[in-house]
Amino acid sequence: MKISADFLDARPRLARPLAGALWSLALAGALGAAWLAAEVIEMRDARPQLEVRLARLEAQAAGAPRAELPPPVELAALRERVHALNKLSGLRGWSTTQLLDWLGPRLPENVHLVSLQHRAREGEALLVAESPSAEALTAFLLRLEREARFDEVLLSKQGTANAPGASAVQFEIRVRWKS
């Protein structure tokens, strides 16, 4: 009696991909270890320079004159005065960068901002927008009116561009922030 057996079919089909994944993982681990070793060497080389800088800064701090703080009552009064001055001179709306950052994605495709006069202390801005179609400007004006952070949005002027032969429409829009 003869028994014939084939053991090649007994291996799972995923052996080669699994071995490839394990080799890739081992390679990634070796690269990560090499990168960490390089970083450790770099930090070790930078340590003497950092120690010299730290010693220099500690010497400067030790040589600096120490000023005594006023009593807590005077500090509280000073904080109140500074708060009152900041409230008087502070901005009532967005900064110019905040306004431009907000306007950027909200301008329709064919609407261009021609000018911007931002009065941060008064909490208002004057925008001049231009487009070949009045419908796009109207959509932009409605988008401004729907913004919850604006107290009022007014169309102060409507006209055409000053350039000869231009058929663009301009809207002058006054925007005021809620206080």
pLDDT digits (tens, 9 = 90+) for 79-131: 999 888 877 766 667 788 888 898 888 888 889 899 999 888 788 899 999 99
Helix, strand or coil for residue 153?
strand
CA angle 67, 69, 70 (to 5 degrees): 130
Q: What pLDDT shows up at residue 1?
A: 66
What is the pTM for the complete model shown?
0.48
User: What per-residue string of b and e applies to 7-18 under the rule 16 or more CB within 10 Å gives b?
Assistant: eeeeeeeeeeee
Letter for the amino acid at 102? W
Q: What pLDDT shows up at residue 165?
A: 60
Helix, strand or coil for residue 19?
helix
Residue with tokens 């002027």: 157
CA–CA gap between residue 151 and residue 157 (Å, rounded): 19
Domain boundary assignment for the chain: 96-177
CA–CA gap between residue 10 and residue 14 (Å, rounded): 12
CA–CA gap between residue 47 and residue 61 (Å, rounded): 21
Contact at 8 Å (CB) between 130 and 115?
Answer: no
- CATH number 3.30.1360.100 is the correct assignment for the domain at 96-177: yes
Instruction: Using 70 as the pLDDT threshold, list the residues of the chain that sit under it.
Output: 1, 5-13, 89-92, 162-166, 179
Name, in order, each residue with C-beta under 8 angstroms of 108's C-beta and a sequence gap of 6 or more: 131, 136, 139, 140
